[in-house]
Structure 1
Amino acid sequence: MAESWAAMRTAPRRTVIAESLLCALTASFGLVPLLLVRPDRPALAVLEALWATLLVAARRDRPVAAVLGVSPLLVGHNIWTLAAVALVVLSATRRVAPTRRAWQVVGTACVAVAPLTVVQVIPRWEDLPVELAGNAVSVVLLLLLPALAGTLLGRRRLLVNLLRERNSYLEQARSLSASTARLAERNRIAGEMHDLLGHRLSLISVHAGALELAAARQAPPLSGQAELLRTTAGTAMEELREILGVLRHADLADESGSDRGTREDIAALVAESRRAGGVIELDWSVPDSAVVGGRTRQAIHRVVREGLTNVLKHASGAPTRVEVRSAGGGTEVSVTNGVPRTEGRSQGGTHSGLAGLQERISLLGGAFEAGAAPNGGFRVAAWLPSQEQQEEGVHAYAGTAVTPPTDALRPVSGATGQGGQGRQAGQGGSRSPLSDEILTWPRVLGAGCASVLVILPTVGYLMFLLLTASLR
């Protein structure tokens, strides 16, 4: 009961309203007709109506118990609750997996109808054959056929989920193909600019330096203009190198704010996560005098933001520590969380955010690490070289505190999920396209059409029973 109440509190508001209205409608449909047509046993009929309402409410969280609980309604005195029997069986069998188990539960409910019928007709044994025949028809039309339709719809739901997953894979593949094509075109443009403009600017800079020396000896008044020409050529060369870096790699300046990655910015991220329910501690030990480039600050912002987002999504309530400090001549940033304090299972993810961080950090010449922590939590850490090291092309890891193992810098798509509860990339992220023999539109649509055809006799039988009861 406590689990059902907790599931109701976490369910979407639309679902709660719909379920409440359905339960109210079931209770009204089972009780209101009793005021117009008095049954032989009114108290028992009222209890059956309330029992049917309880089964309708429990069919989502307790499908097995709901199917087993419809047996007394099939032999009961309140004929208006039979509509709820078909609804409960149809909805509950969709949620019982595998299909063999669903049919085992339905078979148990069918077998239970026989002794209940015998108990019901003990005072009048002469009616036993008629009662058994009538209840057998009800079992077939109100239990077996809805169960068949429910299992068909349950298989259809699995096929639809697989079809959506395959569509997601194809969308990601198309996006990656488009990104590869854009990157190839940008590399071609960068190569053309380097070959054409780079050579010319280098010549201008060399000749401007020679002109400056000659002007200093022969025409001192012109030495200032010659120096301006040389410095301008050098500045143009530096700006060209920056543009070429942007063209050759992903755009590292997608967050253009100049205050990204500062102490105030990281403190604001931590405060925002705390307001969202996180237990987060910030340790910033980078000296204020340290020179941190714009790209490094943006990378710091991205690492902290991605780490805190993953903590809130997959390990909500876990104690978390954010560290930003100087290490190995560069900057080390890490987000480490412990085991969540509340029970809850992470649904995993596609690891696309971690993969993006891996690419961003590698383009800056740093090192990236993401994986399970020894205490059962999760750790995301990165080491970013200084601006001088980036200009010198340093690609080796120089940190001392973050010591990734040999396989830590493999593609992040294979990393373990938050808190050790995530799924592998083949389970929670992209997987190979499934076979066309499994995922076909006729199979997906056919299951829904077949379930509708199967349930039509049940609908006709219910209409006949209810119409007969109304005319009495």
Structure 2
Amino acid sequence: MTEEEQQLPVPPGHGPSGAARRLRREAAEISAALRATPRRTVLAEALVCALTAAFGLIPLLLIPPDRPVLAVLEALWAVLLVAARRGRPVAAVLCAFPLVMGANVWVLAVVPLIVLSATRRIAPPRRAWRIVGVACAALAGLTVAAGLFRWETLPMKLAENAVSAVLLLLLPTLAGTMLGRRRPMVDLLRERNSYLEQTRTLTDAAARLEERTRIAREMHDLLGHRLSLISVHAGALELAAARQAPPLVGQVELLRTTAGTAMDELREILGVLRRTDLSDDTGTDRGTYEDITALVAQSRQTGGGPVELVWSVPDTVEVGARVRQAIHRVVREGLTNVLKHASGAPTLVEVRGTDAGIEVDVTNGVPRLPGDSQGGTRSGLAGLQERISLLDGAFGAGALPDGGFRVTAWLPSHTISTEAARHGPVPTASEPGAAPLPHVPRPPSGGTWRPGPSSPLSAETLTWPRVLGAGCTAVVVVLPTAGFLIVLLVLAALR
């Protein structure tokens, strides 16, 4: 080498320093890939590599081969190929062909698994076939090179390696490409299924919104008109009672204010129905101590008998808007039932709060006039049960042994969304009319469970016929390979 050639700069990436940099870069990429891989996958791959090493090395201790060093090197090479088949599938296929004509017959059982697993990850399939063709050509060239000095055995070696190439390389490649072609098809079907599920969800939401809008329109046209007439006539009656029957002014005023309150509540319900998200149950601040006190006072004024309120909700308990709304509805429904079915009966309203939730009880004694009630449809109690179950609470209502009646409910302190409730069963109490619930700071354990809506079918369910067809075909393809390996291993063990 002349002095000028020695002074020429080495191109980047060449020479010992460039090779060292490439090795360091490759090691860094492998390390980053290992850190990004789930731990479960890493452990599974480590177990597969250990089994490959054991299968390739342990039989050598029982049946020593003719060339033990080469057999051990082949087993270690097979372990490296097993580890590289996921990240470097092309290199794994190209480097697997020397094992076909190696000295370690036990490693031959690993070659089809390496080729099948690697060709699944090579896309498109024609690229996998080109790579396997290169591997087969390299195997043929290596066979000819090894038989140059023994021409009499070359035809037999070529025939043996040709059969091995067909059974250990080509058939596993066919099975691998079939399974690899199935993967993008399943992904496409999964995407289509997700799109259809989203479309169905949007369609259902639009249908629900349209139905709620229709109900709101009907309620506004019918109930709104009737309540407006009641309010107008009650106002006129109040003026007439002030002149002609002063003792009835309070009752008539209560009638007018109740009609006005009903109109306000109707407007609030119509606003909720027209909203697309029922989780935002905002509006008037109901369910507070002042609100419940007003309900109790109104019940006393209406002639409902002695009504006592026991409020023991600590200030530290956080109560959401929907929970407060449910407290208001439970107390109002309980007091309304007392007025309708047990007028004049002593009533106790209890609202207790703990860190776990809120307990509401409305208990009335025996009515003054037994048999005065004609019974009801229990639609109000059914509506309360549905409302409280949506909040993941518990509800119960039933007659007491002494002839009274109790409405009780347990509500969580924080509102639980409907989507969260769909992931598990929703606890509810027994049906209206069953035994009342015990006073415990958790949902009663004696209630029934209402399962959530069924989850949509997954994409795998929709593609079971295709999955089974591809899997069965792949198994049929590799059956000759399995039979060939069994014969080889049995012959090696009997030798």
TM-score where L is the length of structure 1: 0.56
Contact 1:93/1:154 (<8 A) preserved: yes
Q: Tell me how far 1:52 sits from its aligned partner.
A: 0.5
Who is 2:475 aligned against?
452
Alpha-carbon displacement from aligned partner over 1:285-305 (angstroms, at most 9, x marks no partner): xxxxxxxx979xxxxxxxxxx
Q: Corresponding residue for 2:94? A: 68
Does structure 1 retain, via aligned residues, the 8 Å contact 2:78–2:107? yes
Q: Percent identity?
A: 73
Q: Which runs of 5+ in 1 are unaligned?
A: 260-292, 296-432, 434-438
Matched, 1:30 2:48: no
| Matched position secondary structure for 1:26 | helix
Secondary structure of residue in 2 paired with 1:77: coil
Q: In 2, distance between residues paired with 1:91 and 1:16?
A: 16
Alpha-carbon distance in 2 for matches of 1:21, 1:208: 84
Equivalence for 2:490: 467
Structure 1, residues 95-123: CA drift from partner, whole Å, max 9, x if none?
11111111121112112212322343455
The Cα shift of 1:11 comes to 3.1
Alpha-carbon deviation of 1:209? 4.3
Counterpart contact for 2:115–2:172, Cα < 8 Å: yes
Read off the aligned partner of 2:475 and give its amino acid letter: V
3-state secondary structure, aligned to 2:278: coil
On the 8 A contact 2:281/2:321 being kept in 1, the answer is no
State whether residues 49 and 78 of structure 1, in contact with CA within 8 Å, keep that contact through their aligned partners in structure 2. Answer: yes
Task: Supply the AA of the counterpart residue of 2:491.
Answer: T
Does residue 60 of structure 2 align to residue 45 of structure 1?
no
Post-superposition offset of 1:443: 4.7
Distance 1:125 1:28 in 2: 36
Root-mean-square deviation over aligned CA pairs: 3.2
Task: Say yes or no: does 1:85 pair with 2:111.
Answer: yes
Specify the structure having the higher radius of gyration (Cα): 2
User: Does 2:239 align with 1:239?
Assistant: no
C-alpha distance in structure 1 between counterparts of 2:265 and 2:228, whole Å: 13
Conservation of the 8 A alpha-carbon contact between 1:156 and 1:448: no
The Cα of 1:223 is off from its aligned counterpart by 6.0
Q: For 2:120, which of 68, 79, 94 is the aligned residue? A: 94
Q: 1:104 aligns with which of 104, 120, 130?
A: 130
Q: Paired residue for 2:383?
A: none
Q: Which residue of 2 aligns with 1:4?
A: 30
Q: Deviations over 1:320-375 (max 9, x none)?
A: xxxxxxxxxxxxxxxxxxxxxxxxxxxxxxxxxxxxxxxxxxxxxxxxxxxxxxxx
Inter-CA distance 7–239: structure 2 relative to 1 (3 Å threshold): farther
The aligned counterpart of 2:11 is: none
Report the equivalent of 1:144.
170
Alignment of 1:189-204 (within 5 A): 189-204=215-230
- Residue 165 (1) aligns with residue 191 (2): yes
Counting only pairs closer than 5 Å after superposition, residues 42-441 of structure 1 correspond to structure 2 as 42-121=68-147, 124-211=150-237, 227-253=253-279
Task: Give yes or no for contact 1:145–1:455 (8 Å, CA) kept in 2.
Answer: yes
Paired residues of 2:272 and 2:281 also in contact (CA < 8 A): no
Distance 1:13 1:250, change over 3 A: same
* One-letter amino acid of the counterpart of residue 140, structure 1: V
Q: TM-score, normalised by structure 2?
A: 0.53
> Which position in structure 2 is the counterpart of 1:337?
none
Distance 2:464 2:165 in 1: 33
Give the whole-Å Cα distance in 2 for the aligned partners of 1:185 and 1:69: 66
Residue 362 of structure 2: aligned partner? none
**How far 1:55 moved relative to its partner?**
0.9
The C-alpha deviation readout for 1:250-269, integer Å capped at 9, x for no partner, is 3432689x99xxxxxxxxxx
* Amino acid across the alignment from 1:17: L
Looking at structure 1, the residues matched to 166 and 485 of structure 2 have their Cα atoms a distance apart, in angstroms, of: 12
**Which of the pair has the greater relative contact order for Cα pairs under 8 Å at 6+ separation?**
1
Unpaired stretches in structure 2, ≥5 consecutive residues:
1-26, 286-319, 323-458
Amino acid at match of 1:155: R
Distance change (3 Å), C-alpha of 1:255 and 1:127: farther
State the distance in 2 between where 1:173 and 1:250 align.
Answer: 17
